[in-house]
Structure 1
């Protein structure tokens, strides 16, 4: 065995010893915090705190860890389960227990997803042969070249056009306007571009050779033109895709797609250009979902005026779904114990008592998670050290209260709406001459209401008519919603 391997073994053994010691010490401290046991009381069995399901008939050293077995008495929590685990303040400090208060707020979720750049298919152009001919000359273009609009690709000889053009020139010399117009229309129907017909009429010479040009600026994706080859009518000769904009194709889990909307602004960052945030727009939430990954596909459009964004590049995208309309209970995500079947938190009570509570969770963002059921505002939960306490609760046979056993969180007070005219604007309040609030039974009058957020008053002017909503809070009726009434004085 090498020296490094030996050191690793020592470190692993030391780690296991420390973990075992912590569990044993917590069990002993929990026992000391409980009611004292009479000295003449008979133990039911002995157990190892790190392996409590195995019972032993006599005291001694654990066969699993290097520690003494712990006695279990008839009045312990296994015989009559306690409602909570009790831990003294000093033990809490030694364990690093940290509490967090359940409060109300609004989540502003932010999604970070990865995507791949692709061509904008709306800028795809296809160049086809309008009639049969022969390729006489090419201009050295190849697949992948970036060309400007009107760039020459090849010269094609069209023998059929020579006879039609001679007929047109002969009729043009007769001075018969209707015949000349009919001959001109025949050239256009034969597939000649209008600019070629104009050149024939202007020069008075037959132009049997057509120069094929790029219909738009972009990248040549396919080019089937070689000197001497025969061209048939309707054959695809070239495909070009513009690069003024590119698509960023990404996917988000369907459970996190709520609140995303077409037209919202996004920020993209590419490994090729570190430190730069590129603005874009979410243009489409595609209609189908991936049945394997259960994700929704997004299409994001990024401007590419300088041409540095290349299809195939990867990018990270920051998406901000619409925030919650109402306040909800918020909890630090680190406080949640996720078992895979349910979500638990350790509720802190008076005198150092803790008990597990099952909760129903909502959206999660920026380290905060919404609680739909199981807790009340102002309660405290364990944000650090909850796993050790949960282990002790399991050891004592304490069952977690289910979300159905806990009253649901109080519903939000009703939002009351009315029309009004702004009389005075303040930094955090509005004075409004409003009409009646039907749901409140309040008649119309002029009142001053505080704003839930100063941002609600952005862009408003004195005298403007609005539709606004108020909700009862601790500080009284507060404005939570404002909509301008357009087209009204």
Structure 2
């Protein structure tokens, strides 16, 4: 009986413990339910999800009060925002001034399509003269010249003695004495084919004397690039005596970023300015866009031809050239209103009811703080030019869809 009594007592104790634990849990449950905070509601019974600082929309707060970041009150975020109203970010009128929101209307205007690139002056490689010996002989005299000298057209370079010319002139005079016009014409043509100038042939006709001496002169004015004539040097037919680069026109080779290659066309006007001549500009035109790009700088070479009156533009000078066409009408907005995400460009539109929503746009040229809008916006629509990044961040947090290009009016 003692063992049975003991077992009964153990069972009674365990049952009492279970009852006490269950009752305690029930009491705690009721107590916790009565102490649970009621769901926050705002004016009109609207459900408040959380509070936030418009300047730092990523930070959420459970209770209203002053922002720990800015000297302003926290704004409530309602659960029904976006339902029953047009989608967009709503900003209290009192907070707009604190946020510095500035709205500007898109309007038609004109934007200059010119832009500046840098380059340097170079010789016009199409204005080059090669002075050669027309016949075999030797150099008797070289005039006081050196590479780099600037000479005028007709300036003497060297005196040559050409024995072949002398013998050919003697034969010509002998044929002429025969008084047979056809033979005389053939002999005269032979002198021309040997490169003897008409003036020398005319002098042989007039005087009846032959001579194999020739003074070689510069065919154009410019810079002596090379001078191979030396006194006593034996010459072969076609041997180069000098090379002269003209200075009447020069080239400006400018480095054009490949991203702007489509804005430049052959034949467009260009205006160059040089640090050597402050306050002056030099007009020219684009004569070529070279077909290869620099792999290091990702630029194309644009060749601009400039008139060089007085030889003031010297190869090697640094220059800035304005390229592009004339201004044309365009839809313009402030450049700071454009938010570039890396994949697309976005602006924040004002709906007129205190709400803002993002819209995708395609931009074009940019100049003077204005950006051309090619698609996605219509004249008269208002964009946010200041404070747009805060609105865009809030729109992203709330999942507001960006207006597509096709939806623009």
Paired position in structure 2 for 1:357: 359
How far apart are residue 161 of structure 1 and its match?
A: 2.3
Secondary structure of the equivalent of 1:247?
A: strand
Paired position in structure 1 for 2:238: 234
Matched, 1:303 2:304: no
Q: Tell me how far apart the structure 2 counterparts of residues 142 and 150 of structure 1 sit (CA, whole Å).
A: 16
Paired position in structure 2 for 1:407: 407
Runs of 4+ in structure 1 displaced over 6 angstroms? 41-49, 55-58, 70-74
The structure 2 residue matched to 1:111, chosen from 115, 139, 147, is 115
Paired position in structure 1 for 2:252: 248
For the 8 Å contact 2:137–2:235, the answer to whether it is kept is: yes
Count of residues paired in the alignment: 363
Paired position in structure 2 for 1:188: 192
Q: What does 1:370-409 align with in structure 2 at a 5 Å threshold?
A: 370-394=372-396, 396-404=397-405, 407-409=407-409
Paired position in structure 2 for 1:202: 206
Cα 1:408/1:287, change in 2 over 3 Å: farther
For the 8 Å contact 2:360–2:403, the answer to whether it is kept is: yes
Q: Tell me how far apart the structure 1 counterparts of residues 210 and 178 of structure 2 sit (CA, whole Å).
A: 17
TM, length-normalised to structure 1 = 0.63
For the 8 Å contact 1:109–1:366, the answer to whether it is kept is: no
Deviations 1:160-218 (A, max 9, x none): 22322233334445555444433333322233222222233333333222211101111
Secondary structure of the equivalent of 1:109?
A: coil
Matched, 1:342 2:372: no
For the 8 Å contact 1:43–1:71, the answer to whether it is kept is: no
Paired position in structure 2 for 1:469: none
Deviations 1:118-142 (A, max 9, x none): 2223321111222221112111211
The structure 1 residue matched to 2:171, chosen from 157, 167, 170, is 167
Cα 1:169/1:252, change in 2 over 3 Å: same
Of residues 365-374 and 242-251 in structure 1, the stretch that sits farther from structure 2 once superposed is 365-374
Paired position in structure 1 for 2:289: 286
TM, length-normalised to structure 2 = 0.74
The structure 2 residue matched to 1:128, chosen from 122, 127, 132, is 132
Q: Tell me how far apart the structure 2 counterparts of residues 352 and 374 of structure 1 sit (CA, whole Å).
A: 21
For the 8 Å contact 2:140–2:231, the answer to whether it is kept is: yes
Q: Tell me how far apart the structure 2 counterparts of residues 102 and 66 of structure 1 sit (CA, whole Å).
A: 32
How far apart are residue 315 of structure 1 and its match?
A: 1.7
How far apart are residue 377 of structure 1 and its match?
A: 2.4
Deviations 1:202-246 (A, max 9, x none): 333332222111011111122211112221112222211211111
The structure 2 residue matched to 1:91, chosen from 90, 95, 105, is 95
* Structure having the higher Rg: 2
Q: Tell me how far apart the structure 2 counterparts of residues 225 and 285 of structure 1 sit (CA, whole Å).
A: 35
Paired position in structure 2 for 1:215: 219
- Greater helix content: 2
Paired position in structure 1 for 2:36: none
Q: Tell me how far apart the structure 2 counterparts of residues 89 and 364 of structure 1 sit (CA, whole Å).
A: 32
Q: Tell me how far apart the structure 1 counterparts of residues 53 and 333 of structure 2 sit (CA, whole Å).
A: 36
Paired position in structure 2 for 1:9: none
The structure 2 residue matched to 1:158, chosen from 153, 162, 185, is 162
For the 8 Å contact 2:48–2:79, the answer to whether it is kept is: no
RMSD, matched Cα: 3.9
Q: Tell me how far apart the structure 2 counterparts of residues 49 and 262 of structure 1 sit (CA, whole Å).
A: 50
How far apart are residue 364 of structure 1 and its match?
A: 3.0
Question: Which segments of 5 or more consecutive residues in structure 2 lack a partner in the other structure?
Answer: 1-40, 64-68
Q: Tell me how far apart the structure 2 counterparts of residues 44 and 348 of structure 1 sit (CA, whole Å).
A: 25
Q: Tell me how far apart the structure 2 counterparts of residues 320 and 47 of structure 1 sit (CA, whole Å).
A: 46
Q: What does 1:292-331 align with in structure 2 at a 5 Å threshold?
A: 292=295, 295-324=299-328, 328-331=330-333
Q: What does 1:448-487 align with in structure 2 at a 5 Å threshold?
A: none
Cα 1:180/1:82, change in 2 over 3 Å: closer
Of residues 263-272 and 82-91 in structure 1, the stretch that sits farther from structure 2 once superposed is 82-91
Deviations 1:333-369 (A, max 9, x none): 2210112111111112334322222222233333322
For the 8 Å contact 2:335–2:366, the answer to whether it is kept is: yes
Question: Which segments of 5 or more consecutive residues in structure 1 lack a partner in the other structure?
Answer: 1-34, 59-64, 410-489
